[in-house]
């Protein structure tokens, strides 16, 4: 049985008496065991980071950028290999795994421009003989706690900006699919990153609590469920740490009567069912405005759903593959039963789907509900599977209210040809990321990612300029060089002004 160890000081590190199984979602069989550790192992990773970080922070930013350039080149050269590793543990199809890696690399590309981003501010002559300048310095040691659904993208979102700005970074990946994050550590080392700047520690809640408690970890970035995000944010902030914690989602797609329904259906098929719905930016709720729109949309959705092909993660013809574990499959199917019990109309039932030759795999067929209401628990909570719910709205105001009043506020989309409706919706909807005829509105790398309400805890988003702000602290210097020497000025007993 393959054993997945930790990655500390540039090499594999065996520690921990407990293990957790890593499954092959296509077959249901255990393919590896990952060692789980806690505070003792974390201390060794922190010690390595503490020893290496000052010299890395003192390295000029263009040299740090060269490591990012080289890392990008190495990942691109190994794209197919890395995609196969990702798919083998997660279950998403290879094309989706390549997209996972590519979206991470886009943030690395942004980090290649870190010398420009860190230029700072300068005011000459802010007062008599006084200049003021401000610059950003690294916070020291940061930690990232990442989810199973994007084992490449989200670690690169966090680690890229943290490392490029001069910090050391310790990653705790999901124990469900940990191999790829360890390979990223090998690639960083090959790219020239100094030993100790990037470490990977495997664990569960014990490791999370150790990260929160460690006094030398200055900042924590998290992506996962909202309950855990809230816990990490509260506990981390109580200990004086900087915390960004991204939680769950229940993204809505509002479909206006004038929308191009053929395009809407194409977008929904990918956004609702792609990656088996295991995305925080998936579109699991569609809100057609008016009964005629709802009936027409449903009629077009049915054949599109029937055409979806579910296959193994290596099947090039598959639209999506299995979910990550048997437990997650059972959870998704329990939500489908919940929707039935609550009175929603089950139009397409994905339970009981099996793939010939892979009967033990964790497959869930596409599922469609109609006549879902806001009072239903299956609507209020995140399902995180290939389940699409139709919630009918009488008019624009009712459609606007649904995502605005939901507990989650990660992403939302509106489909319309009407510019005024789109502008009004984007301005008024109480959601952090909005798409106009764009089903998955994840910002590009030089903008920042982050939702509202229970989708995000903390005020600073990921990557882009907010990511730079999160992983650095600003220092402002006010300087004066008097002509006659420092001792010529008299004492001042009032607050200085620049007038």
Tens of pLDDT, residue by residue over 417-465, are: 999 999 999 999 999 999 999 999 999 999 999 999 999 999 899 999 9
Q: How many CA atoms lie within 13 A of 243 on its CB side?
A: 26
Q: Evaluate if residue 488 carries a pLDDT over 70.
A: no
- For the record, the structure tokens of 37 come out as 């550790």
We find that the CATH architecture of domain 252-436 is 3-Layer(aba) Sandwich (3.40)
Q: Evaluate if residue 217 carries a pLDDT over 80.
A: yes
CB distance 278 to 385 below 8 Å: yes
The secondary element (H helix, E strand) that includes residue 116 is helix 114-117
Q: Evaluate if residue 480 carries a pLDDT over 60.
A: yes
Which pLDDT band holds residue 290 (cuts at 50, 70, 90)? very high
Q: How many CA atoms lie within 13 A of 64 on its CB side?
A: 29
Q: What is the C-alpha to C-alpha distance for residues 120 and 116, in angstroms, rounded to an integer?
A: 9
Q: Cα–chain-centroid distance for residue 284?
A: 17
pLDDT single digits (tens) 295-305 = 999 999 999 99
CB distance 287 to 392 below 8 Å: yes
Question: Of 194, 163, 161, which is closest to residue 51 (Cα–Cα)?
Answer: 194
Percent above pLDDT 90 for the chain: 93
DSSP-assigned letters across all residues of 240-284: T-EEEEE-----EEEE-TTS-HHHHHHHHHHHHHGGGG--TT---
Residue 487: per-residue pLDDT: 53
CB distance 336 to 347 below 8 Å: no
HEC-encoded secondary structure of 135-151: EEEECCEEEEECCCCCC
DSSP-assigned letters across all residues of 209-237: HHHHH-TT--EEEEES-HHHHHHHHHHHH
pLDDT single digits (tens) 116-147 = 999 999 999 999 889 999 999 999 999 999 99
Q: What is the C-alpha to C-alpha distance for residues 168 and 165, in angstroms, rounded to an integer?
A: 9
Question: Of 160, 231, 174, which is closest to residue 202 (Cα–Cα)?
Answer: 174
Question: For the stretch 359-382, what's the b/e string if a residue is b when 16 or more beta carbons lie within 10 angstroms of its beta carbon?
Answer: ebbbbbbbbbbbebeeebebbeeb
- For the record, the structure tokens of 171 come out as 């990653």
Rounded mean pLDDT of 75-103?
Answer: 98
Residue 481: per-residue pLDDT: 86
> What phi and psi values does residue 269 have, to the nearest 5 degrees?
-60, -45
> Domain residues of the chain, as ranges?
2-247+455-477, 252-436
CA triplet 60, 61, 66: central angle to 5 degrees?
Answer: 105
Q: What is the C-alpha to C-alpha distance for residues 15 and 140, in angstroms, rounded to an integer?
A: 25
List, by residue number, the catalytic residues: 280
Residue 490: per-residue pLDDT: 62
CB distance 100 to 140 below 8 Å: no
How distant, in Å, are the alpha carbons of 31, 60, 134, 167, 467 from that of 473?
A: 43, 17, 10, 11, 11
pLDDT single digits (tens) 163-182 = 999 999 999 999 999 999 99
Residue 16: per-residue pLDDT: 86
Whether the full predicted model's pTM is greater than 0.75, yes or no, is yes
**Domain 2-247+455-477 classified CATH 3.40.605.10?**
yes
């Amino acid at each position: 049985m393959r054993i997945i160890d930790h990655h500390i000081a540039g090499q594999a590190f065996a520690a921990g008496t407990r293990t957790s199984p890593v499954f092959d979602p296509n077959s249901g069989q255990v393919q590896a065991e990952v060692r789980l550790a806690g505070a003792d192992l974390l201390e060794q990773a922190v010690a390595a980071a503490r020893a290496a970080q000052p010299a890395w922070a003192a390295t000029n930013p263009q040299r740090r950028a060269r490591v990012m350039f080289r890392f990008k080149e190495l990942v691109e050269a190994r794209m197919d290999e890395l995609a196969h590793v990702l798919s083998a543990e997660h279950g998403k199809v290879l094309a989706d795994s390549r997209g996972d890696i590519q979206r991470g690399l886009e943030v690395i590309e942004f980090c290649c421009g870190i010398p420009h981003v860190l230029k700072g501010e300068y005011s000459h002559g802010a007062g008599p003989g006084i200049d003021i300048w401000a610059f950003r310095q690294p916070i020291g040691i940061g930690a990232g706690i990442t989810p199973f659904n994007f084992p490449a993208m989200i670690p690169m979102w966090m680690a890229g900006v943290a490392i490029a700005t001069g910090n050391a970074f310790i990653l705790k990946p999901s124990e469900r699919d940990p191999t790829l994050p360890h390979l990223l550590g090998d690639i960083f080392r090959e790219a020239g990153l100094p030993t100790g700047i990037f470490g990977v520690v495997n664990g569960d809640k014990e490791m999370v609590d150790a990260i929160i408690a460690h006094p030398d970890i200055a900042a924590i970035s998290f992506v996962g469920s909202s309950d855990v995000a809230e816990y990490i944010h509260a506990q981390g902030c109580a200990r004086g740490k900087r915390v960004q914690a991204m939680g769950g989602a229940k993204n809505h797609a509002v479909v206006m009567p004038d929308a191009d329904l053929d395009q809407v259906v194409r977008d929904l098929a990918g956004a609702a069912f792609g990656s088996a719905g295991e995305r925080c930016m998936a579109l699991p709720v569609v809100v057609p405005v008016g009964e005629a729109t709802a009936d027409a949309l449903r009629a077009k959705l049915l054949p599109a759903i029937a055409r979806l092909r579910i296959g193994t993660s290596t099947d090039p013809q598959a639209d999506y593959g299995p979910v990550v574990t048997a437990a997650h499959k059972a959870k998704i199917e329990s939500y489908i039963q919940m929707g039935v019990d609550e009175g929603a109309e089950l139009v397409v039932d994905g339970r009981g789907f099996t793939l010939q030759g892979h009967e033990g795999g964790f497959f869930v067929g596409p599922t469609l509900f109609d006549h879902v209401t806001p009072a239903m628990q299956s609507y209020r909570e995140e399902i995180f599977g290939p389940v699409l719910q139709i919630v009918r709205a009488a008019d624009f105001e009712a459609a606007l209210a649904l995502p605005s009043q939901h507990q989650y506020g990660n992403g939302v989309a509106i489909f319309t040809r009407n510019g005024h409706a789109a502008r009004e919706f984007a301005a008024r909807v109480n959601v952090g990321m909005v798409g106009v005829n764009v089903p998955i509105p994840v910002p590009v790398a030089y903008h920042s990612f982050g939702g509202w309400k229970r989708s995000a805890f903390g005020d600073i988003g990921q990557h882009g300029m907010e990511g730079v702000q999160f992983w650095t602290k600003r220092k402002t210097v006010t300087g004066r060089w008097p002509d006659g020497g420092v001792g010529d000025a008299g004492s001042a007993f009032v607050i200085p002004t620049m007038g």
